[in-house]
Amino acid sequence: MADGYAAALMDTGSFCRSRALRDQWYVVADASDIASSPVGVTLLGDRYVVWRGNDGELAAAADRCPHREAPLSLGHVRDGCLVCPYHAWAFASDGGCVDVPSSGPGASISAAANLDVLLVRELYGLVWLCVGTPVGEPPRIAQDADPAFRRLTAGMETWSASATRMADNFCDVAHFPYVHAGTIGPDTDPVVAPISVVALDADFTGYEYTVEVHDEHGNDVRQRMSTAFHLPFIVRSDTFYESGPRAGHDRVLLLCTTPVDDVTSLFTFVVWRNHDHEVPAEDVLAFDRAIGAEDRRMLERIAGVLPLDASSTVSVRSDRLSVEWRRRFSALVVS
Ligand code: FES
Ligand SMILES: [Fe+2]
């Protein structure tokens, strides 16, 4: 760790300038958002363009044409090539510049005109982007390969909230009776049992617990759950229904937060469940959307970045997972 660098990041409270965060994977779009047109996304304060090449495979690059810096995301895709809106230079999905119309057909094109393409993956119905050198993979969800499970994606939202506050919130259950009074919360026990944080698998760190909640039909349901994080901002919540209409079934909820900048974030979630496959997708997603809207309402009222120095805020027993997330996130940011 470079001490000056670490101190500067901590002083400014701007985690987006962290070099280490560039080496992580982020969800920047729903896979269905990237169709026949290029899409511009902002990640860690910088603009990128994502498009689909001829074979349907995703491609991504900085949203800047090497000619005169026009935003490539305002262009179009022709025969799998990204075409700049300004002078119509065309770029193949490997970044190679394949057409400079003003030079005439067959003219040689300098390698300097090529785009540096970035790593982009399509996984769980989501588009994952890494703008640096990835130090790992997106988190693995074993249920995705299990045909008993149906997968549903919610689509992207933009929240005026810091990704740091969102990850902290998604690791926290103590707010359920208050923030989620309109959904799962009304009869949730406000006392949170002691939390013991462990590695739940190779990709997630979290804890297991049991709750009594209301489901979307108002049934009292006993659920065995786990909540866990995968740095930097992915949180997973697994549910095994011990009682109620879904007794014996499972559900996985993946909460994906992506920093657009320090205080603006993309949010989406994915649900896998091995029950009630006949229920329309929108009906399945509606309850989780309502829960997300409750979190959003609270978090958009809290300004700025969550202080990465843990001593700036007071934490209690129920914050154990959030505090562990923050400790590891802070170490990552300055690494
Ligand atoms: S700025 Fe893109 S082709 Fe000129
Ligand atoms: Fe919440």
Q: Is residue 169 part of a domain?
A: yes
- From ligand 2's centre to the CA of 189, what distance in Å? 15
State whether 147 and 228 are in the same domain. Answer: yes
User: Given the CA of residue 65, which atom of ligand 1 is nearest to it?
Assistant: 2
Measured by CA distance, the residue closest to atom 3 of ligand 1 is 87
pLDDT of 212 over the 60 cut = yes
State whether 103 and 44 are in the same domain. Answer: yes
User: What whole-number percentage of the chain has pLDDT above 90?
Assistant: 83
pLDDT in tens, 64-107: 999 999 999 999 999 999 999 999 999 999 999 999 999 999 99
Q: Are 190 and 212 in contact (CB under 8 A)?
A: no
Last residue of a domain, one of 79, 95, 130: 130
Ligand nearest 67 Cα, by number?
1
- From ligand 1's centre to the CA of 71, what distance in Å? 9
As a three-state string, the secondary structure of the chain is: CCHHHHHHHHHHCCHHHCCHHHHCCEEEEEHHHCCCCCEEEEECCEEEEEEECCCCCEEEEECCCCCCCCCHHHCEEECCEEECCCCCCEECCCCCEEECHHHCCCCCCCHHHCCCECEEEEECCEEEEECCCCCCCCCCCHHHHCCCCEEEECCCEEECCCHHHHHHHHCCCCCHHHHCCCCCCCCCCCCCCCCCCEECCCCCEEEEEEEEEECCCCCEEEEEEEEEEECCCEEEEEEEECCCCCCCCEEEEEEEEEEEECCEEEEEEEEEECCCCCCCHHHHHHHHHHHHHHHHHHHCCCCCCCCCCHHHCCCCHHHHHHHHHHHHHHHHHCC
Q: What is the mean pLDDT of the chain?
A: 94
pLDDT the model gives residue 213? 76
Domain count, the chain: 2
- From ligand 2's centre to the CA of 185, what distance in Å? 9
User: Given the CA of residue 87, which atom of ligand 1 is nearest to it?
Assistant: 3
State whether 196 and 303 are in the same domain. Answer: yes
State whether 125 and 170 are in the same domain. Answer: no
CA–CA separation, 234 and 229 (whole Å): 6
State whether 106 and 183 are in the same domain. Answer: no
State whether 164 and 244 are in the same domain. Answer: yes
Q: Is residue 20 part of a domain?
A: no
pLDDT the model gives residue 309? 86
Question: How would residue 38 be classed by pLDDT, with cut points 50, 70 and 90?
Answer: very high
Q: Is residue 57 part of a domain?
A: yes
55 burial class (0-12, 13-18, 19+ CB within 10 angstroms)?
exposed
Boundaries of domain holding 245:
142-333
Probe ligand 1: pick from 63, 64, 65, max atoms within 8 Å of CB? Answer: 65
State whether 307 and 285 are in the same domain. Answer: yes
State whether 312 and 230 are in the same domain. Answer: yes
State whether 123 and 186 are in the same domain. Answer: no
CATH number at 58 reads 2.102.10.10
pLDDT the model gives residue 4? 64
Ligand nearest 65 Cα, by number?
1
State whether 157 and 229 are in the same domain. Answer: yes
Q: Is residue 283 part of a domain?
A: yes
CATH number at 211 reads 3.90.380.10
- Please give the span between the terminal C-alpha atoms of the chain, in angstroms, as a whole number: 5
Question: How would residue 193 be classed by pLDDT, with cut points 50, 70 and 90?
Answer: confident
Measured by CA distance, the residue closest to atom 4 of ligand 1 is 87
Q: Which two tokens stand for residue 138?
A: 């997106």
State whether 281 and 161 are in the same domain. Answer: yes
Last residue of a domain, one of 130, 162, 186: 130
pTM for the structure as a whole: 0.94
CA–CA separation, 304 and 70 (whole Å): 31
State whether 64 and 152 are in the same domain. Answer: no
Last residue of a domain, one of 71, 96, 130: 130
